Structure 1
Amino acid sequence: MPYQTDFLLRVYRVMKTIREFEERCIKEFEAGTIPGFVHASNGQEAVAVAACIDLSDKDIIGSTHRGHGHCIAKGCDVSGMMQEIMGRATGLCKGKGGSMHIADFDKGMIGANAIVGGGPPLCNGAALGAKTRGTKDIALSFSGDGSANQGTVLEALNLAVVLKLPHVFMFENNGYAEGTSANYALGCDSLAERNRSFGMPSVCVDGNDFFAVYEACKEAIARARNGEGPTAIEATTVRFDGHFIGDPQLYRGDGEVKAARKEQDCLQFFQARVLKEKWLSQEQMDTIDAEVMELIEQAVQDGLSAPKPNPATDLLADVYCTY
Structure 2
Amino acid sequence: MNKTDQKRLLREMIFFRRFEERCFEAYMEHKIGGFLHLYIGQEAIATGVLEMAKLKHDYVITGYRDHIHAIKAGAPAREVMAELYGKETGSSRGRGGSMHVFDPTANFMGGYALVGQPFPLAAGLALACKHKGTDQIAICFLGDGANNQGTFHETMNMASVWKLPALFVCENNQYAIGTRIDRSTAVLDQYKRMCGYNIPASQHDGEDVEVVMESAKKAIDHVRSGKGPYFIEYMTYRQRGHSMSDKTSAYRSKEEEQKWSERDPLKVYGAKLKKAGVLTDADIKKLEKEVQDEIENDVIKFAEESPIPRVEDINKYVLDDNPDPRWIGPLQNTY
Q: Distance in 2 between matches of 1:24 and 1:256?
A: 26
SS in 1 for 2:268: helix
Query: CA shift at 1:120, angstroms?
Result: 1.9
Matched with 1:304 is: 304
Report whether the alignment pairs 1:34 with 2:32.
yes
Partner in structure 2 of residue 254 of structure 1: 253
Contact preservation (8 Å) 1:165, 1:229: yes
Q: How does 1:196-275 map to 2 (within 5 A)?
A: 196-256=195-255, 258-260=257-259, 262-275=261-274
Per-residue CA shift, 1:72-99, capped at 9, x if unaligned? Answer: 2212111111111000111111100100
Summarize the alignment of residues 57-136 of structure 1 with structure 2, pairs less than 5 Å apart: 57-136=56-135
| Alpha-carbon spacing, 1:294–1:260, altered in 2? closer, same or farther (3 Å) | farther
User: Equivalents in 1 of 2:14, 2:83: separation in Å?
Assistant: 20
Q: Is the 8 A contact 2:126 2:137 kept in 1?
A: yes
- TM-score normalised per structure 1: 0.95
Task: Say if 1:83 and 1:91, in contact at 8 Å, map to a contact too.
Answer: yes
User: Does the C-alpha gap of structure 1 residues 319 and 260 become closer, same or farther in structure 2, counting only changes over 3 Å?
Assistant: farther
Name the stretch that deviates more: 189-198 or 280-289.
280-289
Q: Is the 8 A contact 1:240 1:260 kept in 2?
A: no
The 3-state SS of whatever aligns with 1:111 is strand
Cα distance between partner residues in 2 of 1:124 and 1:12 = 32
Q: How many angstroms does 1:257 deviate by?
A: 6.6
CA displacement, residues 193-221 of structure 1 (integer Å, 9 cap, x when unaligned): 11233111101111111111111110111
Mapping of residues 6-25 of structure 1, within 5 Å: 6-25=4-23
Pick which of 42-51 and 293-302 moved more: 293-302
In structure 1, the partner of 2:332 is none
1:46/1:213 contact within 8 Å kept: yes
- Tell me which amino acid in the other structure corresponds to 1:21: F
Distance in 2 (alpha carbons) for counterparts of 1:247 and 1:109: 28
Aligned-partner Cα distance in 2 for 1:215–1:43: 19
List aligned pairs for 1:160-179, cutoff 5 A: 160-179=159-178
Q: Is contact 1:46-1:210 (8 Å) kept?
A: yes
> 1:260: how far off?
4.8
Number of residues of Structure 1 aligned to a counterpart in Structure 2:
320
1:264-303 aligned within 5 A: 264-297=263-296, 298-303=298-303
| Pairwise CA distance, 1:305 | 1.3
Give 2:148's aligned residue. Answer: 149
1:33 and 1:264 map into 2 onto residues whose CA distance is 32
Distance 1:250 1:275 in 2: 33
Aligned partner letter, 2:52 = D
**Deviates most, 287-296 or 210-219:** 287-296
TM-fit CA distance, 1:261: 5.9
Q: Given residue 112 of structure 1, which amino acid in structure 2 is its aligned partner? A: G
Q: Is the 8 A contact 1:22 1:42 kept in 2?
A: yes
8 Å contact kept, 1:240–1:257: no
Pick closer, same or farther for the CA change 1:77–1:256 going to 2, 3 Å: farther
CA-CA distance at 1:284 after TM superposition: 4.2
**Bigger mean CA offset, 44-53 vs 8-17:** 8-17
With 109-118 and 296-305 compared, the bigger mean Cα shift is at 296-305
Q: Secondary structure at the match of 1:243?
A: coil
Superposed counterparts of 1:173-192, under 5 Å: 173-192=172-191
Q: TM (normalized to structure 2)? A: 0.91
RMSD: 1.6
What SS class does the counterpart of residue 170 from structure 2 fall into? strand
Cα distance in 1 for residues equivalent to 2:75 and 2:256: 29
1:184 Cα offset (Å):
1.2
CA distance in structure 1 between the partners assigned to 2:107 and 2:30 by the alignment:
31
The CA deviation at 1:289 is 1.9
Partners of 2:118 and 2:72 in 1: CA distance: 17
CA distance in 2, matches of 1:71, 1:285: 25
**1:101 touches 1:114 (CA, 8 Å); kept in 2?**
yes
Query: Which amino acid letter does the alignment assign opposite residue 24 of structure 2?
Result: I
Cα distance, 1:14 vs structure 2: 1.8
| Cα deviation code 1:219-257 (max 9, x no counterpart) | 111111111111101111001111111312344233157
Cα offsets for 1:245-304 (capped at 9, x unmatched): 131234423315751563121110011112222344444433332221112112112111
- Larger deviation: 233-242 or 71-80? 71-80
